[in-house]
Structure 1
């Protein structure tokens, strides 16, 4: 099964219209979490606690991101996307627990129309966004692709699939969420900027590559790094209130890494809870000066 996560709306928040002054007073009295309201073309909606979107949230690290965002920020709104929301039992359990604070959308990284539809839904329901986490990724699929231990095992189909999901897909998500991130900035959060956090991997670093192999996965993460860096340069040049960073979560005990854990020292295999806690600490403390940087789970910068 492809390890990617993307989702018709199973639930949604009320659509917010631009208020009159009287309606604004009523809204603030009745719903304190909404500091001001808007459509995407007017001043952006400002939600106390912020609006976060986790792309790739049906399992593994993505699901843990959604869980911790809901648990640690009692006023924050979370949009979780995956390919098949009806089968995302972990997200459905969170929906029961957190109700309207969690909105589940269908999004398939290989289908740009679903990305565009998700952006439209977020715009209609919230008007802005303060955090985008691209958590999806693929490493191996039985009978389809496996990490290559030698050049002779490289196949074009695996290279293209890895690039589509691990690199092109996340950048297309940023493309369609960009206006929402600009509208949101850091409003409603303790940051002064919105954050885009793309989950990369240390093996994507060219400067840190001493072992070779894993051609499709390694090169697709390298492509993600370059695309993210390029996006960050544009954000900086246009003075958008967005910081775009790359994160290496370490080797985490998930379905993605499980087939390759045999020779890994126990102390180097992290739980999802530990890794996401560390990554959220980096995200929550991100500043405009961090734009375009590549961080490991412990906050150390990784060479390109």
Structure 2
């Protein structure tokens, strides 16, 4: 191909990409005519425990910033209903089931139409046991394929799909007004997901599904860096929190290592508010010390 023809085709390609980008931007703007002037946060899995406590911390610590709280059954979420009465204009409660992708799409559309942006996404949803149905596996003989797949769907697949649907809003929000000027995706994991830290074995489904969540989040951080998307992606171990998830297994936990949801939420807030782009792709403890993968 002649040099001038190569240049002409290159020019056409640039014009075509610019036109498509303009069309995509115009379409988005028709859906969201104006961006909300303050940062918007979303807590997935906010009906109780750590998610509920974190939602309250966000509402009280950043009173000008809206919070979107999602859970599987909002109608039965008494804690969220109480928060909604206290913060009627600041808090939005929406249904999101981490095993149903259409509910994630609906939440993204609602946030887009109401705020036009998202600046932080924290996924706290997770499953460890279900009474009379699912228990952690102390030995290989206890491993059940149905429970393995359920844990994987809820603990790993669900949060990364939520991030998938919220990413356009996060890239729009850019974290403007937060002091860090980049958006954040923070997935709540556990120290048990660390391969190097696994010295006791057992708990196959929970360990493996949370390790998968770690890998998903790390991979997302690499993609955002390569695309130069201003989004920090981290996983955080909140410590052992006194919730229904951990209650049957707290016997050997020293009292000083068993946190109330409020204490753990405060520690998480300290980390979230201090994140910088250099932190992306990291696995943090509640002290912000890095945990080996």
Please give the TM-score of this superposition, normalised by the length of structure 1. Answer: 0.85
Q: CA deviation at 1:100?
A: 1.0
User: Which residue among 45, 70, 87 is the counterpart of 2:35?
Assistant: 45
User: Runs (4+) of structure 1 moved beyond 2 Å?
Assistant: 38-44
Specify every segment of 5 or more residues in structure 1 that has no aligned partner in the other structure, as ranges.
Answer: 1-37
User: Which residue among 15, 29, 46 is the counterpart of 1:57?
Assistant: 46
Deviations, residues 79-104 of structure 1 (Å, cap 9, x unaligned): 00011111111001001001110000
1:283-298 residue pairs with structure 2 within 5 A?
A: 283-298=272-287
Specify every segment of 5 or more residues in structure 2 that has no aligned partner in the other structure, as ranges.
Answer: 1-27
Alignment check: 8 A CA contact 2:32 2:115 kept: no
CA distance in 2, matches of 1:133, 1:211: 29
User: Which residue among 128, 131, 140 is the counterpart of 1:142?
Assistant: 131
User: Which residue among 115, 121, 126 is the counterpart of 2:104?
Assistant: 115
Alignment check: 8 A CA contact 2:118 2:173 kept: yes
How many residue pairs were aligned?
266
CA distance in 2, matches of 1:280, 1:67: 11
Deviations, residues 112-162 of structure 1 (Å, cap 9, x unaligned): 000111001000000010000001000000122101110110000010000
Do structure 1's residue 195 and structure 2's residue 184 form an aligned pair? yes
Equivalent residue, structure 2, for 1:234:
223
Structure with larger Rg: 2
Deviations, residues 230-263 of structure 1 (Å, cap 9, x unaligned): 0110011001110000000000100100000112
1:81-96 residue pairs with structure 2 within 5 A?
A: 81-96=70-85
RMSD, matched Cα: 1.3
Do structure 1's residue 210 and structure 2's residue 199 form an aligned pair? yes
Alignment check: 8 A CA contact 2:31 2:113 kept: no
Query: When you count helix as a share of all residues, which structure comes out higher?
Result: 2
CA distance in 1, matches of 2:275, 2:182: 8
Alignment check: 8 A CA contact 2:32 2:112 kept: no
